[in-house]
């Protein structure tokens, strides 16, 4: 995994699910922001457009919750393909309307709960599910993003399936709340990346964790040798341990937001990532178009 790094940092978009909540759109605990594909597709398109207007060069499809197991809980598993393709259409429509040179990343999420390294399951069970979603998204996106991967095993299954489509693939790990730079599984970056040996990854990132955790992980991500390295943090207060490993408390999608990560403060954190060598920055849950606009200013100031 080695290639020249981009000459200027690339800018990702920000969060989708919490932004939909900010705009008054119903978000179901099961299928998360995917419910907006059904009840408020215009809002999804508008959010993509707002991120592009803020300066995002990569926008991510709203497919994080559009997976079979979660759709089945709402009795709409039969709409799996329809909703994934609709999410691609909305991202493409936003890009076309903006007339901007923006890339679309197809989100491949955890299949058995965010942060739940203990629930990932055997490769033989999850690989076919990732392959199905990757094949759906690949013809309509510029890259596939295996995001919020809590363990090396989860990343291996997702990335293997994604790379088989021939589309460039980025893998993004979610990191432990102890700010160590380890994955939520407890693995080091090096240990997790070793499970991707032989899988042609185009980028390694960290996401949906504290910005301080991303700073701790950037050196290890760079050491892994991927062409693209970076991060996009959430603005959550620390996620309870009972929700992340061997816990019995269900995710409710309503973790509180930190008061110290408004756009300027978030940009200060992201500047640290850039100083450490990140080539891609952006935002995850709780970040908004204003955060991305501020990151655009940071990148411009370094050009």
* Each residue's pLDDT tens digit, 44-68: 999 999 999 999 999 999 999 999 9
226 belongs to a structural domain:
yes
Number of structural domains, the chain?
1
Q: Could you give the percent of the chain with pLDDT greater than 90?
A: 88
1 belongs to a structural domain:
no
pLDDT at 145: 99
pLDDT at 243: 66
Q: Are 11 and 299 in contact (CB under 8 A)?
A: yes
Q: Is the pTM of this model over 0.75?
A: yes
50 belongs to a structural domain:
yes
pLDDT at 40: 97
Q: Is 233 exposed, middle or buried (0-12, 13-18, 19+ CB in 10 A)?
A: buried
Q: Which domain holds residue 231?
A: 10-302
Task: Compute CA distances 109 → 81, 87, 162, 194, whole Å.
Answer: 15, 14, 12, 20
pLDDT at 212 over 80: yes
Looking up residue 260, the CATH number of its domain turns out to be: 3.20.20.330
202 belongs to a structural domain:
yes
2 belongs to a structural domain:
no
101 belongs to a structural domain:
yes
Which of the four pLDDT bands, split at 50, 70 and 90, describes residue 7?
confident
> How confident is the model over 138-145, as a mean pLDDT?
98
Q: What is the mean pLDDT of the chain?
A: 94
265 belongs to a structural domain:
yes
Q: Could you give the percent of the chain with pLDDT greater than 70?
A: 94
135 belongs to a structural domain:
yes
């Amino acid at each position: 995994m080695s290639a020249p790094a981009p000459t200027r940092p690339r800018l990702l978009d920000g969060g989708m699910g919490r932004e939909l909540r900010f705009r008054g759109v119903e978000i179901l605990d099961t299928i998360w922001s995917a419910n907006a594909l059904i009840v408020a597709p215009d809002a999804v398109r508008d959010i993509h457009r707002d991120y592009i207007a803020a300066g995002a060069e990569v926008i991510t499809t709203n497919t994080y919750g559009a997976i079979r197991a979660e759709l089945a809980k709402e009795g709409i598993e039969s709409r799996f393909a329809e909703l994934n393709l609709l999410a691609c259409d909305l991202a493409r429509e936003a890009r076309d309307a903006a007339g901007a040179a923006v890339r679309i990343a197809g989100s491949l999420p955890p299949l058995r709960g965010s942060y739940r390294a203990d629930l990932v399951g055997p490769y033989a069970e999850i690989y076919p599910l990732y392959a199905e979603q990757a094949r759906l998204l690949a013809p309509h996106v510029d890259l596939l993003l295996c995001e919020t991967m809590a363990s090396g095993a989860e990343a291996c299954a997702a990335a293997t399936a994604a790379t088989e489509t021939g589309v460039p693939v980025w893998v993004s790990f979610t990191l432990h709340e102890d700010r160590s730079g380890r994955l939520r599984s407890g693995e080091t970056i090096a240990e997790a990346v070793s499970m991707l040996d032989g899988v042609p990854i185009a980028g390694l990132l960290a996401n949906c964790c504290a910005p301080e955790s991303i700073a701790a992980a950037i050196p290890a991500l760079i050491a892994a040798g991927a062409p693209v390295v970076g991060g996009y943090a959430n603005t959550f207060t620390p996620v309870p341990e009972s929700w992340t490993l061997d816990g019995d408390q269900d995710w409710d999608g309503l973790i509180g937001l930190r008061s110290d990560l408004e756009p300027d403060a978030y940009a200060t954190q992201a500047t640290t990532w850039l100083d450490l060598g990140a080539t891609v920055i952006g935002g995850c849950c709780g970040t908004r178009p204003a955060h991305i606009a501020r990151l655009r200013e940071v990148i411009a100031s370094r050009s």
